[in-house]
């Protein structure tokens, strides 16, 4: 038996309090850092980063995946190994802003992301066009019978991207804030307008 392998196994066992953990015994220097430090790194990495959510296209040709995929380096950390994904997923969902501007509507966004992911999302970004659509719907139909709260129950903030084409000129910001709160079932929903 090779003594160097035996010694390194004893060292890892000693580090983990006498028990070995297959998830952290991968030999990665990053995973040997204290959990508190790794959490600080995850928080710094994910803080206010924006992830573009692209719609799934059933008609997309399978031999052209590069055409529809955009490299988003922030996501790469989640896919380094099971342990980092397990440790960082909650921080990712808490800190990242999910950009839904390319999605046709919120139902499609839920389809694209999956209902489990939508339930834990804290922040989304939408176009002013989508915000205006909800305001007009609220004005013409009144409060919705079913809100998007069932799809996004953890949602705390909506960022609305202003666009010169679909500007909020004819709709007041107060009305947009009210409509967002009603449609997402959260009267205290934070709404921020960005350029």
Taking 80 as the threshold, does the pLDDT of residue 111 lie above it?
A: yes
Cβ distance 148 to 183 under 8 Å? yes
- Confidence (pLDDT) at 75: 82
Q: How many domains does the chain have?
A: 2
Residue among 192, 108, 117 nearest 153 (CA): 117
What pLDDT, in 10s, does the model give residues 5-33? 433 333 333 334 444 444 445 578 989 99
Would you say residue 27 lies in a domain?
Answer: yes
What pLDDT, in 10s, does the model give residues 35-78? 999 999 999 989 878 888 876 654 444 444 444 455 577 788 88
Cα 140 from Cα 131, distance rounded (Å): 14
Would you say residue 11 lies in a domain?
Answer: yes
Looking at the fold, whether 111 and 67 belong to one and the same domain comes out as: yes
User: 3-class DSSP state for residue 99?
Assistant: strand
Structural domain boundaries enclosing 4: 1-32
Looking at the fold, whether 5 and 61 belong to one and the same domain comes out as: no
Looking at the fold, whether 46 and 65 belong to one and the same domain comes out as: yes
Looking at the fold, whether 100 and 140 belong to one and the same domain comes out as: yes
Q: Scanning the structure block, which residue is given the tokens 């996501």?
A: 75
Looking at the fold, whether 130 and 187 belong to one and the same domain comes out as: yes
Looking at the fold, whether 190 and 112 belong to one and the same domain comes out as: yes
Q: What is the mean pLDDT of residues 74-91?
A: 87
Looking at the fold, whether 23 and 46 belong to one and the same domain comes out as: no
The structure's pTM equals: 0.73
Would you say residue 37 lies in a domain?
Answer: no
Within 13 Å and on the Cβ side, how many CA atoms surround 178? 12
Cβ distance 83 to 35 under 8 Å? no
């Amino acid at each position: 038996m090779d003594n160097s392998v035996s010694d390194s196994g004893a060292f890892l066992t000693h580090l983990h309090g006498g028990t070995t953990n297959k998830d952290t015994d991968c030999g990665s220097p990053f995973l040997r850092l204290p959990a508190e430090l790794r959490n600080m790194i995850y928080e710094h990495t994910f803080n206010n980063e924006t992830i573009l959510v692209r719609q799934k296209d059933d008609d997309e040709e399978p031999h052209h995946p590069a055409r529809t995929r955009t490299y988003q380096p922030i996501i790469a950390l989640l896919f380094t190994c099971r342990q980092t994904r397990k440790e960082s997923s909650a921080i990712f969902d808490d800190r990242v802003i999910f950009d839904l501007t390319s999605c046709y509507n919120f139902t499609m966004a839920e389809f694209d992301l999956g209902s489990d992911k939508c339930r834990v999302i804290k922040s989304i970004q939408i176009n002013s066009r989508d915000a205006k659509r909800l305001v007009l719907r609220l004005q013409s139909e009144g409060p919705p019978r079913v809100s998007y709260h069932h799809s996004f129950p953890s949602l705390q903030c909506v960022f609305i991207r202003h666009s010169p084409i679909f500007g909020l000129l004819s709709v007041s910001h107060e009305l947009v804030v009210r409509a967002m709160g009603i449609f997402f079932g959260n009267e205290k929903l934070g709404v921020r307008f960005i350029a």
